Amino acid sequence: APKQAVVWGFCEAGASVDVVFRGQTIRATVAPDHATGASTTWRALLPATGASFEKHSLEARSGGRTLRLSDVLFGEVWVCSGQSNMQYPLGTPTCWNATNVNCSNPHTKQCSFGCTADAGAEIASMADFDGGMRLFQVGRMSSKTPLPDVRGEWLPPSKMGGRFSATCWFFGRDLYSVLSPTVPIGLIESDVGGTPDEHWSSPDAIRACDIARPWGMPTTLSRPSPRPHPSRR
């Protein structure tokens, strides 16, 4: 059975917020945010809704104001997280050069960070998935304390384009293509190159696991000797 989706937002303390979805009005719970408690949020559980390509709309109403979301899909949502291997983007429409696959000329876009094979063709094909896929790229920032929100917005693949994680995109694209029955897929990219494992857990979680190494970047980290670039040998 499908799970109930949570919708939420920020509001004034003491506000009353109603969410209208499929003809049903749901009174939201208003309380301090779950991160620091410094802000006030409203949260509502939507009725369990099966995955489909039916586009829904919902409204949040409070104090004479109405916020409306449209083209809402229900399906699977996957989080793609990690270091630079996950952060590596598809590239730009013109970055790939098939005559330079070995980077004999290292001073080209495809030999720097972020250019996949046939990037231009792949980016152009992303529009074919606009009807059933949505992408979210979390804005990269650092904080040693929980935050109530992140930067970013849900976009159809063609609007996100080549800046999206290549690994995350190929995974989601292939999954979408082989699922039976096919359902909408949302991909959330959250990655920062060079981060240690500890940075993906909260300080409270690290302490609860009784890990001796502090949350910050390890101070005694052995690094392998750099290898010469093939073009520089």
Residue 42, strand partner residues: 9, 30
Residue 70 to residues 32, 197, 228, Cα–Cα distance (Å): 27, 37, 52
Q: What is the maximum span of the chain, computed from C-alpha positions, in angstroms?
A: 69
Q: What is the pLDDT of residues 185-219, one digit of tens each?
A: 999 999 998 888 888 887 778 778 876 665 554 44
Each of the 233 residues of the chain gets a pLDDT tens digit; together they read 588 999 999 999 999 999 999 999 999 999 999 998 999 999 999 999 999 999 999 999 999 999 999 999 999 999 999 999 999 999 999 999 888 888 888 888 888 888 999 999 999 999 999 999 999 999 988 787 888 999 999 999 999 999 999 999 999 999 999 999 999 999 999 999 888 888 888 777 877 887 666 555 444 444 444 444 443 33
- Token digits of residue 1: 């059975």
**Predicted local distance difference test score (pLDDT) of residue 233:** 35
Q: What is the pLDDT of residues 170-186, one digit of tens each?
A: 999 999 999 999 999 99
Gap between the Cα atoms of 77 and 67, Å rounded: 23
Gap between the Cα atoms of 138 and 160, Å rounded: 12
SS3 36: coil
Strand ranges (E), 16-116: 18-21, 24-27, 29-32, 40-45, 52-62, 65-74, 76-82
**Predicted local distance difference test score (pLDDT) of residue 100:** 85
**Predicted local distance difference test score (pLDDT) of residue 215:** 56
Nearest to 77 by CA among 163, 27, 6: 6
**Predicted local distance difference test score (pLDDT) of residue 80:** 96
Gap between the Cα atoms of 180 and 186, Å rounded: 16
**Predicted local distance difference test score (pLDDT) of residue 197:** 80
**Predicted local distance difference test score (pLDDT) of residue 1:** 59
Question: For 91-155, what is the HEC assignment?
Answer: CCCCCCCHHHCCCCCCCCHHHCCCCCCCHHHHHHHHHHHCCCEEEEECCCCCCCCCCCCCCCCEE
Q: What are phi and psi of 205, to 5 degrees?
A: -65, -40
